[in-house]
Structure 1
Amino acid sequence: MHSERRPVTDETRAQVRALHAAGKPRNQIARELGRSGRTISLIAQDLGLPFDRSATEEATRARMADLAEKRAILAEALVDDALRLSEQVWQPTTIYNFGGKDNTYAERQVDEPPAHDKKALMGAATQAAAQSLRLVPPADDAGADDARSMLGQLMLGLKAAYEEAASEEAEGESP
């Protein structure tokens, strides 16, 4: 909705001065006069009338604290996800095949996921852990470096295991 611009008159300035003297906050003055908060702020500034911003500052601090709490909760959930994903690397799982010319489905239980699935699980776990660190960085940077180092070593080990398993699978196949 487009509104017409109305010039600020001496009467408007007098109303702002009177409402300000009555202790009304900026937004209430804006509503009563049918003006934007920005217009009221500019008029008050020209008149040398300060608004008490302590309520706004307190609300901003509370909102920031709420956001920090939500980030901490999300970071904790991401760490839990990373742990669950990394545990799946060593758990029995079902592998399956679906499709083919007859559109068939076949499955079997194995002691551990195949190497490529382990790699995907650890990649997802690493990503979840990294995101948790971005949301709530540790207070001590050395701890973050240790965590990154541990995750890096884990990924290198998984890559080596994946390459070894892929090599063994290739050797076992017939041409």
Structure 2
Amino acid sequence: MKKMFLLIGCACLAGWFMWSEGLTHVSPVPEAPVVAEVEQPEYMVYITGAVRKPGLYSFPDVVTIGDAVHAAGDALPYAEASAVNYAARIEDGMQIHLPYNLDGVPAASESDGKININDADETKLTELPGIGPAMARHIIEYRDKHGGFTDCEQLQQVKGIGTAKFEKLKDKVTV
């Protein structure tokens, strides 16, 4: 009986091998490719010159030069803004240089920190002790009407500046 079970087992095994050879081999279904998120190109721009925060800036998309200058803190008051086309689009690796315009910028004064009453604007005049915006306008009106001051003592001829106020100012002004 043992032999019979052994023969039947061998026959079954041989039959299974013969049957499995007849089957076509099927590979497992490949997984669908995973599409990674498409990387957005970065646009690197080097901004120099008359901007508040010069340096290297990165933008995810193409922007205008005006947008890039804005990202750098905007142009300084003495920038030559007309030298750059703010509407042009940036390119990767581009350098944007906003040149300086030093025309009209007052030269450094050698007056020991004194304010020149013939050249100072209203803001500068208000830095003087006891001079507010209204008094600064009076000084400018006097200067425009009379052609400027020839000496500092003429400040006393401006309405509102008497001897006491002039004493506080005389060491802080020049012509």
For the aligned pair, the TM-score class normalised by the smaller chain equals under 0.3
Larger helix fraction of residues: 1
TM-score by length of 2: 0.24
Give the number of the structure whose alpha-carbon radius of gyration is greater. 2
TM-score by length of 1: 0.24
